[in-house]
Chains A and B, each alone.
Chain A
Amino acid sequence: MSPKLQHHLLKLWHAWIAGGYLVAYVTADEDTYDMHLFAGYAVLAAIAVRLLAGLIAPSTSPWRLPRPGFRSSLAWLAARKGRNPLFAWFAAALLAIIGLAALSGAFADGAAWLEDPHEAVSEASLWVIFGHIAFVTFMYGGKRLLARLTDRFSDFRPLRAKEQSR
């Protein structure tokens, strides 16, 4: 399978889990319980597929499971070379917390006492997702925007110096 196709499939998987999570979160109410159940199982299936694919994928594949490490992260901080380790940390955290939310939800369907823990984990997972969105937005768009803003600000400095000298 070509790397391009693997990346496309990974994006498709990302859409699957993101869409399922969104539907599950929005329908987390007694009145839309059946929809919530369906979406929750869709998320659980996506996690299962990701884990399975991650275990059988070759080491160079983007489907390989993220393996963040403290030593590699510290090495990156010292040298600032290579891929930012936060990508792997966020991926691992997201798989873990969303997987836990989906799994606890599946069990909560039969065991009412798990409803509150399921809700707590799901609320916590939303914050991890916000962090992930903020991080990728910064890495893929925010850095350029920040550079443009700082350039504009630095353009104003010579003008101020001229006005002061008059």
Chain B
Amino acid sequence: MLGKMLIHGLVAAALIGSAAAAYAQAKDNGYLPAPAPAVQSAKPDAAKADNGYLRPAAADLRGRHDDHHDRAVRSDRDRERHDRKRDHDDDDD
């Protein structure tokens, strides 16, 4: 019985993991709605105003840049933590 339950759990993990990966991919590609307005309003008005600067395409604005901004807004401490992790990997031992 325990063996079967273990397999059921792994199958469920595979299904949920696939759905989660599809969700993450859809969000990256811009198929899903944009994130909260608080993040979008942080974008400079230069994108809208005609001040002589080149304006990036709308898809680029909604795409990866928002994700990077989200991650920056979310927690700089986390980034430092993960940078420290990567530093360990870069060590020449």
Residues of A bordering B, CB below 8 Å: 11-12, 14-16, 18-20, 22-23, 26-27, 29-36, 38-39, 42, 112, 115, 136-137, 140-141
Q: Does B47 contact A (CB under 8 A)?
A: no
Min CB distance, A37 to chain B, in Å?
Answer: 8
Q: Does B14 contact A (CB under 8 A)?
A: yes
Given A11-B5, A16-B12, A18-B13, the answer on whether A35 and B24 have CB atoms closer than 8 Å is yes
Main secondary structure of the interface of B (DSSP, over half): helix
The 3 lowest CB-CB distance pairs between A and B, nearest first, are A19-B12, A19-B13, A34-B24
With beta carbons under 8 angstroms apart, the residue of B9, B20, B24, B79 that contacts A30 is B79
Min CB distance, A32 to chain B, in Å?
Answer: 7
CB-CB nearest in chain A for B73: A112
Given A35-B17, A38-B24, the answer on whether A18 and B75 have CB atoms closer than 8 Å is no
CB-CB nearest in chain B for A29: B82
Min CB distance, A116 to chain B, in Å?
Answer: 8
A42 CA to B20 CA in the complex, in Å? 10
Main secondary structure of the interface of A (DSSP, over half): helix
Check A34 against B2 for contact (C-beta < 8 Å). no
* B20 contacts across to A, CB distance below 8 A: 23, 27, 34-36, 38-39, 42
Interface size on B, residues (CB 8 A): 27
Residues of B bordering A, CB below 8 Å: 1-2, 5, 8-17, 19-21, 23-24, 27-28, 71, 74-75, 77-79, 82
A72 CA to B60 CA in the complex, in Å? 62
CB-CB nearest in chain B for A27: B20
With beta carbons under 8 angstroms apart, the residue of A15, A38, A39 that contacts B9 is A15
With beta carbons under 8 angstroms apart, the residue of A14, A16, A22, A34 that contacts B23 is A34
With beta carbons under 8 angstroms apart, the residue of B1, B9, B79 that contacts A19 is B9
* A31 contacts across to B, CB distance below 8 A: 82
A137 CA to B57 CA in the complex, in Å? 57
* B17 contacts across to A, CB distance below 8 A: 19, 23, 26-27, 35, 39
Most B-side CB within 10 Å, residue of A15, A18, A31, A33? A15
A42 CA to B77 CA in the complex, in Å? 26
A66 CA to B9 CA in the complex, in Å? 21
CB-CB nearest in chain A for B18: A23
Given A38-B24, A39-B17, the answer on whether A30 and B71 have CB atoms closer than 8 Å is yes
